[in-house]
């Protein structure tokens, strides 16, 4: 009678395809969120006026651009990193709007709670920081600065190079992708858990007195997830900038 029937993980993260079912372009809720994560900031940028004294949406758009410039690029790379503004701004906005659908009614699913989007973005960052490193230091210089820590004894070089290779070229993108994916999936499961708990308590009359506490937690966690949505976008873009900075500068 008091059993809590929790939906399976497949019910939480897998969505049926609405269009192109069964093809490589099968369009489901995640795809829709990704399209919206592209369209919403695009519309915001298009609606922003070009006044010297900013108002309304222009304020929001310019604040976002300034945030990425000052808190991500200047903090992690410096003035020379400004050429990466389009990429880092795209990553920040795409991750944020992909995440924020976690708390938007009827969607209530972050696109980044599926591995595909974090993986694609991590691959983009991976390609970018390798390309930036090769461009800045040349292939040999980049590989040397990436794989050979300064002051490494000759005897330890093979081992260190192996460790650095795994760390730089495999774990960095993997860590980027998994951090975002795991955080958003955990948040999603947390919200679902309290949602299920609220529904269950509502239908179990003896325990309905506990419902306000559970509902309060659900509301609080929804606010928390909004913060996480922003924080994960910021961390992803900041780490991308840090990796680019590490690539373009030799030890």
Partner 1 sequence: MSLLLIIAAEGPAKEADNPILPVVPELFWSALTFAAFFLLIKFVLLPPVKRTMDLRAEAIRSDLDAAEAAKASASSAAGDVDDQLAGARAEAAAVIDAARSEAETERQSILAQANAEVAKMKELAEADLAAARSQAMDQVRPKVAELATSAASKAMDRTIDVEAARPIVDSYLSNSN
Site string for partner 1, 96-115 (x = CB under 8 A): ----------x-xx-x--xx
Q: How many angstroms separate the CA atoms of 190 and 207, rounded?
A: 21
Q: Is 93 in the site for partner 1 (CB under 8 A)?
A: yes
Query: What does each C-alpha distance from 98 to 62, 128, 215, 228 come to in angstroms?
Result: 20, 21, 25, 12
Of 120 and 157, CB closest to partner 1: 120
Determine which residue in the list 12, 134, 161, 211 makes contact with partner 1, applying CB under 8 A: 12
**Smallest distance, partner 1 to C-beta of residue 106, A:** 8
Half-sphere exposure of 234 (CA within 13 A, CB side): 13
Q: Is 216 in the site for partner 1 (CB under 8 A)?
A: no
Q: Is 90 in the site for partner 1 (CB under 8 A)?
A: yes
Q: Is 139 in the site for partner 1 (CB under 8 A)?
A: no
How many degrees, rounded to 5, is the angle at CA 31 between CA 48 and CA 232? 65
Query: What does each C-alpha distance from 195 to 4, 98, 108, 218 come to in angstroms?
Result: 12, 21, 11, 7
* Nearest by Cα to 70 from 246, 250, 234: 234
Q: How many angstroms separate the CA atoms of 82 and 74, rounded?
A: 8
Q: Is 59 in the site for partner 1 (CB under 8 A)?
A: no
Give the interface with partner 1 as residue ranges (CB under 8 A): 5, 7-17, 20, 23-31, 34-35, 37-38, 41-42, 45-46, 48, 50-52, 54, 58, 61-62, 65-66, 85-87, 89-90, 93-94, 106, 108-109, 111, 114-117, 119-121, 124, 181, 192, 195-196, 199-200, 203
């Amino acid at each position: 009678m008091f059993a809590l029937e929790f939906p399976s993980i497949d019910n939480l993260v897998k969505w049926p395809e609405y269009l192109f079912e069964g093809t490589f372009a099968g369009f489901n809720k995640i795809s829709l969120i990704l399209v919206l994560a592209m369209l919403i900031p695009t519309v915001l940028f298009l609606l922003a006026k070009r006044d010297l004294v900013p108002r309304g949406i222009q304020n929001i758009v310019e604040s976002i651009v300034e945030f990425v410039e000052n808190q991500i690029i200047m903090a992690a790379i410096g003035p020379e990193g400004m050429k990466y503004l389009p990429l880092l701004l795209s990553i920040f906005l795409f991750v944020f709007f992909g995440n924020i659908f976690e708390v938007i009614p009827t969607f209530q699913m972050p696109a980044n709670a599926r591995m595909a989007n974090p993986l694609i973005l991590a691959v983009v960052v991976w390609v970018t920081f390798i390309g930036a490193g090769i461009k800045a230091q040349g292939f040999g210089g980049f590989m040397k600065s990436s794989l050979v820590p300064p002051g490494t004894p000759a005897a330890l070089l093979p081992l260190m190079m192996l460790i650095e290779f795994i760390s730089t070229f495999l774990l960095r993108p993997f860590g980027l992708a998994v951090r975002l994916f795991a955080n958003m999936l955990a948040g999603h499961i947390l919200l679902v858990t309290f949602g299920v708990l609220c529904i269950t308590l509502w239908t179990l009359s003896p325990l309905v007195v506990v419902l306000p506490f559970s509902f309060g937690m659900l509301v609080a966690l929804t606010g928390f997830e909004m913060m996480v949505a922003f924080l994960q976008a910021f961390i992803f873009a900041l780490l991308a900038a840090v990796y680019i900075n590490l690539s373009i500068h030799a030890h």
